[in-house]
Chain A
Amino acid sequence: MSISIQFRDWIENTPAPWKIGQVLIAPEPGGVKRFELRHVDDRHAETDSLRPVDDWIGLRELIRVNAAGEFRPLKAAPDLRSGWRMTGLDFDNLRLALDYFYPGAVADWICWRNGNLPVTSYAETAKRQSGRYHIARSLGEGDLEKLTQTVCERGCLKRRLWTAIPNSDAVEGSSSEIPLLCAEACNYFVGKAREKIKGPAVEE
Chain B
Amino acid sequence: MSHSDAALVLAGHGSTLNADSSAPTFQHAEAIRQRGLFSAVQVCFWKEEPNFRQVLRSVEARRIYVVPNFISSGYFTEQVIPRELGLNGPVTRMPDGREIYYCEPVGLHPSMTRTLLHRAAEVVEKSPEQIEDPRATACLLICGHGTSLNDNSTRIIQQRVAEIRAKGLYADCQLALMEQKPYIKDWRTLIACPDVVVVPYFISDGLHSFEDIPVLLGLTENVREQGVCNPHIEPGRRLWYATAIGTEPLMAEVILAQVEKFDHEHLYTIS
List residues of chain A with CB under 8 Å of any chain B CB.
2-4, 56-57, 60, 64, 71, 73-76, 99, 103-104, 106-108, 111, 117, 128, 130-131, 183-184, 186-188, 191, 203
Tell me which residues across on chain B come within 8 A of A104, comparing CB atoms: 49-50, 54-55, 57-58
- B148 in contact (CB, < 8 A): no
Bound CA span A99–B55, Å: 10
The A-contacting residues of B in range 32-84, CB under 8 angstroms, are 42, 46-51, 53-55, 57-58, 60, 75, 79-80, 83
Bound CA span A4–B47, Å: 26
- B18 in contact (CB, < 8 A): yes
Count: A-B pairs, CB below 8 Å: 64
Minimum C-beta distance from A95 to chain B (A): 9
Point out the residue from A4, A76, A111 that lies within 8 Å of B57, measured CB to CB. A111
The 7 closest A-B pairs by CB, nearest first: A103-B50, A104-B50, A107-B58, A73-B16, A103-B49, A104-B54, A107-B57
Tell me which residues across on chain A come within 8 A of B187, comparing CB atoms: none
Q: Chain A residue with minimal CB distance to B17?
A: A203
If A71-B17, A108-B57 touch, whether A56 touches B46 (CB-CB below 8 Å) is: no
Q: Chain B residue with minimal CB distance to A75?
A: B49
Minimum C-beta distance from B152 to chain A (A): 16
Bound CA span A187–B48, Å: 8
B30 touches A73 (CB 8 A): no
Minimum C-beta distance from A1 to chain B (A): 10
Q: List 27 A-B contacts (CB under 8 A).
A: A3-B58, A56-B30, A57-B30, A60-B23, A64-B19, A71-B17, A73-B15, A73-B16, A73-B17, A75-B49, A76-B49, A99-B58, A103-B48, A103-B54, A104-B49, A104-B50, A104-B55, A104-B57, A107-B57, A107-B58, A111-B57, A130-B83, A131-B75, A184-B53, A187-B47, A187-B51, A203-B47
Known: A56-B30, A73-B47, A191-B47. 16 other contacts (CB 8 A): A64-B19, A71-B18, A74-B49, A75-B48, A99-B58, A103-B48, A104-B50, A104-B58, A108-B54, A108-B57, A130-B80, A130-B83, A131-B75, A186-B51, A187-B47, A191-B16
A4 touches B50 (CB 8 A): no
Tell me which residues across on chain B come within 8 A of A3, comparing CB atoms: 58, 60
If A56-B30, A131-B75 touch, whether A73 touches B54 (CB-CB below 8 Å) is: no
- B26 in contact (CB, < 8 A): yes
Point out the residue from B26, B30, B60 that lies within 8 Å of A4, measured CB to CB. B60
Tell me which residues across on chain A come within 8 A of B55, comparing CB atoms: 104
Tell me which residues across on chain A come within 8 A of B83, comparing CB atoms: 128, 130
Minimum C-beta distance from B249 to chain A (A): 13
Bound CA span A64–B16, Å: 11
A203 touches B60 (CB 8 A): no
Point out the residue from A64, A107, A130, A188 that lies within 8 Å of B47, measured CB to CB. A188
B51 touches A203 (CB 8 A): no
Tell me which residues across on chain B come within 8 A of A130, comparing CB atoms: 79-80, 83
If A104-B55, A104-B58, A130-B80 touch, whether A71 touches B19 (CB-CB below 8 Å) is: yes
Q: Chain B residue with minimal CB distance to A57?
A: B30
Minimum C-beta distance from A30 to chain B (A): 26
If A73-B48, A131-B75 touch, whether A60 touches B19 (CB-CB below 8 Å) is: yes
Tell me which residues across on chain B come within 8 A of A4, comparing CB atoms: 60
Among B16, B18, B26, residue most surrounded by chain A Cβ atoms (within 10 Å): B16
Tell me which residues across on chain B come within 8 A of A76, comparing CB atoms: 49
Minimum C-beta distance from B69 to chain A (A): 16
Tell me which residues across on chain B come within 8 A of A56, comparing CB atoms: 26, 30
If A4-B60, A74-B49 touch, whether A203 touches B54 (CB-CB below 8 Å) is: no
Minimum C-beta distance from A111 to chain B (A): 6
Bound CA span A184–B57, Å: 13
Among B15, B23, B48, B83, residue most surrounded by chain A Cβ atoms (within 10 Å): B48
